[in-house]
Amino acid sequence: MQTYVLVAYASKYGATKEIAEKIGQVLNASGIVTDVEAIEQVRDLKPYTAVILGSAVYAGQWLGEATAFLKAHEIELAQRPTWFFSSGPTGEGDPIELMKGWRFPEGQKAFAEHIQPRDIMLFHGALDLGKLNFAEKLIVKGFKAPTGDFRDWSVITGWAVQIVEALTAVKA
C-alpha cells in the first residue's frame, strides 16, 4: 500500500500553518505523497496511511477545531501512525522550559493515551502584535511574552526528516 500522509493544522494567525507546510514539503521532497490541510477542511482520514496533527497553543490549549478533530477522529487516528505538534512559546531557549514543562494540553491527554502518537513535539511559535486583536494584545503585554518569529526551521525540518525515516522503516 502506497504511503499517503496528511498534515492537518489548526492556526489562527498563520505561524502553525507555515510549520505544517514545511513538514509537508520535507515529506513530499522525500517522495512521500503528502497533503497539507487546515483541520476544518478534512472530512475523511480513510485515504491516509499516517497523520501529522498540529495546533497553535492559546492559553495552554489547542485551538477548538484541533480538539474537536481529536474527538471526532480518535478511533481512526489510533489505527494509524500519528505525530502531534504544537506551536507556541516565543523567546530564546528550550520551548518546554519556556512553557514550564507543558508539552500537550491537559484536557486532551486521554486522547493521546489512546491514540499513542509516535511523538508529541512542541515548536517555538511566532507572535506579531500587529495581527492580534485588542484583548490578545493586552494578554501578550500582561504576560510580557516576547514578540517576533522564534520558529526554528532547522528543528522543524529535522523533526520532519525523523518522520520520513519512521515511515520508510514502517514500509520496509
Ligand X SMILES: Cc1cc2nc3c(=O)[nH]c(=O)nc-3n(C[C@H](O)[C@H](O)[C@H](O)COP(=O)(O)O)c2cc1C
Q: At 93, which amino acid appears?
A: G
| Residue tagged 484583548 (cell numbers) | 135
Q: Look at residues 5, 4, 110, 125 and name the one whose alpha carbon lies nearest to residue 56.
A: 125
Question: Which residue has cell 498534515?
Answer: 7
From residue 46 to residue 85, the character string flagging contacts with ligand X as x (rule: CB under 6 A) and all else as - is: ----------xxxxx-------------------------
Residue 48 phi/psi, 5-degree rounding, is -95, 135
- And the C-alpha cell for 163? 518522520
Query: Shortest approach of ligand X to residue 148 CB, angstroms?
Result: 10
Here's the x/- map for ligand X, 104-143, by CB under 6 A: it reads as ---------------------xxx----x---x--xx---
Query: Nearest approach, Cβ of 79 to ligand X (angstroms)?
Result: 28
Which residues of this protein are in contact with ligand X, per CB under 6 A?
A: 11-17, 56-60, 87-89, 99, 125-127, 132, 136, 139-140
